Structure 1
Amino acid sequence: MIQANVGGWDKYLRIVIGVVLIGLMALGYIGLWGWIGVVPILSAVFNYCPLYQLIGFSTRH
């Protein structure tokens, strides 16, 4: 079972970063790599970041 390790301000920051990257791509300011914005959005939705698990970090209380 995956333990949630993303919460609070970190969750909202991930959503904002993801939306900004996808928005910039949609407006033509950056290339197709803007789709990488999907990754932080998904990690916020599922409250899980694999990198956090590797380093033993959590922003969830």
Structure 2
Amino acid sequence: MFTPNESSWDRIIRIVLGLILLYVGFGPPLSGALGIIVGIIGIILVVTGAIGWCPLYQLLNFKTKQE
């Protein structure tokens, strides 16, 4: 369906950063609208890291995955 465009290191960084943002956004550090926005960005990073495909990379014709 989607051709992976993220390398292994890119995926790991996205997942780790996404989990941190999820904690910060939906945990005690932040609340309200800012917390929700940070949490949603965290969800996006975790999902794109897990599937290995980034729609923004696709749109910009960019990839970190080696052929």
Give the TM-score, by structure 2 length.
Answer: 0.78
Q: Which runs of 4 or more aligned residues in structure 1 lie more than 3 Å from their structure 2 counterparts after TM superposition?
A: none
Preserved contact between residue 6 and residue 64 of structure 2 (Cα < 8 Å)? yes
Once the two structures are aligned, what percentage of the paired residues are identical? 33
TM-score of the superposed pair, with normalisation by structure 1: 0.84
Q: Provide, for residues 18-61 of structure 1, a one-character-per-residue CA deviation record: whole Å limited to 9, x for no partner.
A: 11011113431122223221100000111100000011111112
User: Which ranges in structure 2 are unaligned for 5 or more consecutive residues?
Assistant: none
Q: 8-17 or 41-50, which moves further after superposition? A: 8-17
Number of matched residues? 61
For structure 1, which runs of at least 5 residues remain unmatched after alignment?
none
Distance 1:39 1:57 in 2: 18
